[in-house]
Structure formats: C-alpha cells, structure tokens
C-alpha cells in the first residue's frame, strides 16, 4: 500500500463517527470523563471505560426528557448550581439489582447465630439495631425484618432496621412495600402467606405492617457524613463497594467498624472481600465478617 493511500485511509477513518458518536446524542471522551468525575465526586462510584455503554443508555433517557441536545449540554446542566438535576443523575447511574432473601446463607446465619447472640448480649436493654446499607427497592430490609420477626419477640424487644440508599426512587418503592407477585417467588410459601397481602388481581403483593413497621427508609450517601451514631449489631452492605475504589472501600469499612458493636457482624456481597482492605474484621466465610 502506498504512503498516500495509507494517509488517505487514515483520514477517512478519522472522519468517521465512532459507534457512540453516531447514536442519538453525541457523547465524547471528554463528556464521559466529566460524568465519571461527577459520579465519583458525589457518590464514590468509579465508572470505568467498560461502563460507557451503560452510562449512555441510562443518561440518554434523561437528556431526552430534558430536551437537551447532547451529553455536553447535560454535563453543563449538572455543573449549574440549583439546576436540580443531580438527583436525577445519581438515580440513573446507581444499579439496583436485588431480590428477597438474596444470598440466603446470610439470613440463615442471622437466624441461627447472630440474632441468638444479640438476644443474649442485649438481654438487659432488649434493643436490636440492624443497618441495610444500599437497600435498593427494599427486598433486603424486608427479608431482614421477616427473619427478625421470626426469631425475636418483637413485642418485648425494641427492634429497628435502618434501610438507606442513594437513590430516592428506589427508597420510595421500598417504603411503599408493594411488589409484583413474581418478586416473592424466592420466599417460602409459609412466609408468603404470613408476611404478604395479595391484591384482588393476584398480580401484586404488599408487605404486612408487622414487618413494615420495623424498618425506616432514609436517603443516605455512604461517602458523606452519617447522621446516625449507632451502635449497630449487624450491618448488611452487599454489592455496593464493588463500585468503589480501594481507598474509598478502606474508609467505608473503617467507618462500619466504628459504628458496629464489638463482635458485631458485617455481611457483604458474594464478589466482594475485605482482604487487604481492612484488618478490623475477621472472616467467618461466605462473605460474613465479625468486628474484632
């Protein structure tokens, strides 16, 4: 191939749009970098290059709804004080995959070991405090509440579950406690009958007040200040820190240790680990850790 032909071919390739640029809304490398930096600044989430298509798909809906021309205009809007779009941005980029009794071994551990220990340790105060950090649409805290109600005498014990998330939309869903009936397929039949109401159409269910009253849903950014002081007996923070870098993870796990009782438990996601991140917990297996 001649030098001129190579040069012409290179110029043609440069002039072509990349797959991203040929989409409905142009998103340049600079736009993605701005969005990644904003995500990290406000949430601690790390958006690597492999997340670019996901970011495009989720934020294109926001751009369309706002009547903007491209991602550059959207970034400018996010940088505009008082625009009110930051919440929409955060809600769009956070991932909310969950189910009732997901990773059931954690709830078995809660039933068989953690809660009996709390009953013994807190026999005088009769208080139980659990935190579901990154609670998504509420399936996790309701699974926790079902387990607590089946183990603890909630008439005599002060049992409270704090359910927090960054996404205000999923918190509203969780607080309402209404789910498509398919969502409770992972729940035992006896528990379905005991803890859920089925609507007349048979298409949705609502959690019963007995498990709903135990839970407080609150919006919270884990990398910002925490208004609660604890202490907590048990913390579930599952499939959340995978989006954080190691420094952010280290800070977060140290803060969890600070707010847990001595000997308290931390449950994390199946693809997460505390190894080489913090030495304040000992591993018990199955991504269950105990504060040292």
Nearest-5° Cα angle at 33, 32 to 35: 65
* 188 and 144 Cβ atoms separated by less than 8 Å: no
Which residues make beta-bridge pairs with 232? 260
- What pLDDT is recorded for position 44? 80
37 confidence band (pLDDT: 50, 70, 90): very high
Which residues make beta-bridge pairs with 285? 288
Mean pLDDT of 159-171: 95
84 confidence band (pLDDT: 50, 70, 90): confident
Whether pLDDT at 2 is above 80: no
- 3-state SS track over 43-109: HCECCCHHHHHHHHHHHHHHHHHHCCCCHHHHHHHHCCCCCCCHHHHHHHHCCCCCCCCCCHHHHHH
Whether pLDDT at 128 is above 80: yes
Domains of the chain: 3-93 (1.10.155.10), 104-291 (3.40.50.150)
Residue 22 C-alpha from the chain's centroid: 32
Residue 170 C-alpha from the chain's centroid: 10
Q: Going by DSSP bridges, is the β-strand pair 281-285/288-291 parallel, antiparallel, or unpaired?
A: antiparallel
- Burial of residue 22, with CB atoms counted within 10 A of its CB: 0-12 exposed, 13-18 middle, 19 or more buried: exposed
* 192 and 184 Cβ atoms separated by less than 8 Å: yes
16 against 282, higher pLDDT = 282
Mean of per-residue pLDDT scores for the chain: 89
86 confidence band (pLDDT: 50, 70, 90): confident
Interval 68-78: pLDDT, tens:
999 999 999 99
Residue 250 annotated to the active site: no
Whether pLDDT at 205 is above 90: yes
What is the rounded distance in angstroms from the CA atom of residue 227 to the CA atom of residue 242? Answer: 24
In three-state secondary structure terms, 279 is: coil
- What pLDDT is recorded for position 108? 97
Interval 268-292: pLDDT, tens:
998 899 998 999 999 999 999 999 9
In three-state secondary structure terms, 117 is: helix
What strand order describes the sheet that includes 178-180?
178-180, 204-207, 196-198
- What pLDDT is recorded for position 272? 92
167 against 18, higher pLDDT = 167
Q: Which of 23, 52, 58, 111 is catalytic?
A: 58
Interval 212-270: pLDDT, tens:
999 999 999 999 999 999 999 999 999 899 888 899 999 999 999 999 999 999 999 98
22 confidence band (pLDDT: 50, 70, 90): low
Residue 121 annotated to the active site: no
Query: Which pTM value belongs to this model?
Result: 0.80
Q: Which of 165, 167, 233, 238 is catalytic?
A: 165
Mean pLDDT of 18-23: 52
Long-range contacts of 85-89 (CB under 8 A, 24+ apart): 86/42, 87/168, 88/62, 89/38, 89/39, 89/42, 89/59, 89/62
Peptide bond into 231 cis (omega under 30): yes
Percentage of the chain exceeding pLDDT 70: 92
């Amino acid at each position: 191939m001649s030098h001129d032909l190579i040069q012409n071919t290179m110029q043609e390739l440069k002039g072509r749009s990349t797959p991203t640029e040929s989409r409905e809304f142009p998103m340049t490398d600079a736009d993605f970098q701005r969005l990644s930096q904003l995500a990290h600044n406000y949430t601690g989430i790390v958006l690597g290059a492999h997340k670019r298509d996901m970011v495009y798909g989720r934020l294109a809906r926001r751009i369309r709804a706002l009547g903007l021309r491209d991602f550059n205009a959207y970034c400018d809007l996010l940088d505009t004080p008082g625009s009110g779009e930051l919440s929409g941005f955060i809600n769009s980029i956070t991932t909310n995959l969950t189910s009732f009794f997901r990773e059931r071994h954690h709830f078995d551990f809660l039933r068989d070991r953690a809660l009996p220990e709390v009953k013994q340790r807190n026999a005088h105060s009769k208080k139980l405090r659990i935190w579901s950090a990154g609670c998504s649409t509420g399936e996790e805290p309701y699974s926790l509440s079902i387990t607590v109600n089946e183990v603890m005498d909630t008439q005599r014990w002060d049992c409270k579950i704090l359910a927090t998330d960054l996404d205000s939309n999923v918190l509203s869903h969780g607080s309402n406690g209404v789910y498509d009936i398919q969502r409770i397929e992972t729940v035992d039949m006896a528990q379905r009958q005991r803890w859920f109401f089925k609507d007349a159409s048979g298409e949705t269910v609502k959690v019963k007040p007995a498990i709903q009253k135990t839970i407080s849903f609150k919006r919270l950014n884990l990398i910002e200040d925490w208004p609660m002081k604890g202490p907590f007996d048990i913390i579930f923070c599952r499939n959340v820190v995978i989006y954080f870098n190691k420094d952010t993870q280290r800070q977060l796990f140290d803060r969890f240790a600070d707010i847990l009782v001595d000997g308290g438990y931390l449950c994390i996601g199946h693809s997460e680990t505390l190894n080489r991140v913090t030495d304040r917990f000992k591993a018990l297996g199955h991504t269950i850790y105990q504060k040292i």
